Amino acid sequence: MLPAATFALLPADVKADLDAITADVQHYTPRGAEDIVMRGQGGDVYFDKVRSRLHINQLTFERGHAVYVLQQNTRVDDDPWEISAINSLEVTLRDTDSVKHKIQLAQLRSGRHAFKHAGRRPAENAW
């Protein structure tokens, strides 16, 4: 039988293994990645599965909220869009013509897209 000291890993090897496991979890199990806070150029962007809320740079967005969508710091549309669904990978929006748009959380993290509160909830009959 080999002594236990033979199986010890170096700290660098342990860190490499943990990094690989973390990367695999984020890539292969999107439903298990909700609680992992991602940090990118766009800041903190994550989905809170327990409360069904999207958090972007300390702002909170929920299903039914009216938002303006910004692309490269320019508003995409003059009218606000409604958040119709949120999950750990993407946000589904509806515009005033009931056309659905999907924006990935990765696009929000990278800063390619941004959301701004519209300051009001959309009228129920507008959709």
Has residue 115 been placed in a domain? yes
Note the pLDDT of residue 86.
93
Mean pLDDT of successive 10-residue stretches along the chain, which has 127 residues: 61 82 60 38 74 87 90 84 92 90 90 83 49
Q: Are 98 and 41 in contact (CB under 8 A)?
A: no
Helix (H, G, I), strand (E, B) or coil at 77: coil
Note the pLDDT of residue 12.
87
Note the pLDDT of residue 32.
40
Note the pLDDT of residue 36.
39
Domain of residue 114 covers 34-126
DSSP 58: T
Tell which phi-psi region holds residue 95, choosing left (phi > 0), alpha (psi between -120 and 50) or beta. beta
Has residue 17 been placed in a domain? no
Please give the radius of gyration of the chain, using alpha carbons only, rounded to the nearest integer: 20
Q: Are 41 and 109 in contact (CB under 8 A)?
A: yes
Which has the closest alpha carbon to 77: 104, 60, 96, 54?
A: 96
Has residue 117 been placed in a domain? yes
Number of domains in the chain: 1
Has residue 41 been placed in a domain? yes
Find the CATH number of the domain harbouring 75.
2.30.30
Has residue 24 been placed in a domain? no
Has residue 45 been placed in a domain? yes
